[in-house]
Amino acid sequence: MTSAPKGNRNTIGYSRLQVALHWVVVLLVIEQWYTSQAIVRTHNPFLRPSDTDLVLHAMHNYAGVLLGTLMAVRIGLRWVQRHPIRTDSPGWQERLSRAVHGGLYVSLSGQAVTGFTAAYLWSSAGRVHILLWNVTLVLVGLHIVAAAYHTVRRDGVASRMIAWPR
């Protein structure tokens, strides 16, 4: 990795808090996918919801609010904490990476808002919630392909988030 210009703390790397939050959010997204299956069963008019499904539904709502809060914290951290310097990646890769990361921030924050709205205020927001989930799946797919590519190239990008910062 190129050395950071002196005095610019926005060019060093992700902080421990940013790395920890990245992986907590990944676990919560997997948990949200798993618990959402129980919502589909709970809302099926031909099935009597099991106690487990009701607990999983509640878990989805509370963990979703937590996930939305953590995304807000992450967006805040981007303003106040360090941000990684770029490697020698071509400009189009930089732009694509910024678009995918920005898209993930928007789609996950949007899901927390639309999920809350669908559950407590206006059920039709559920359609936007589901649409945003499909957007998230596409973006996560692209993100994982990019992470695998940088891991194979060993250009230092993957280790920014995989290695624990010193």
Instruction: State the residues that interact with ligand HEM by CB under 6 A.
Output: 22, 25-26, 29, 32-33, 36, 39-40, 43, 60-61, 64-65, 67-68, 78, 84, 97, 101, 104-105, 108, 111-112, 115-116, 118-119, 126, 129-130, 133, 140, 143-144, 147, 157-158, 160-161
Which residue is listed with tokens 């649409």?
A: 131
Q: Using an 8 Å Cβ cutoff, are 22 and 77 in contact?
A: no
CB of 50 to ligand HEM, least distance (A): 17
CB of 160 to ligand HEM, least distance (A): 4
Q: Using an 8 Å Cβ cutoff, are 36 and 67 in contact?
A: no
Which residue is listed with tokens 């930089």?
A: 94
Q: At a CB cut-off of 8 Å and minimum separation 6, what does 142 contact? A: 96, 100
Q: At a CB cut-off of 8 Å and minimum separation 6, what does 10 contact? A: 82, 83
**23 or 50: whose CB is closer to ligand HEM?**
23
CB of 4 to ligand HEM, least distance (A): 14
Q: Using an 8 Å Cβ cutoff, are 63 and 24 in contact?
A: no
**37 or 50: whose CB is closer to ligand HEM?**
37
**4 or 161: whose CB is closer to ligand HEM?**
161
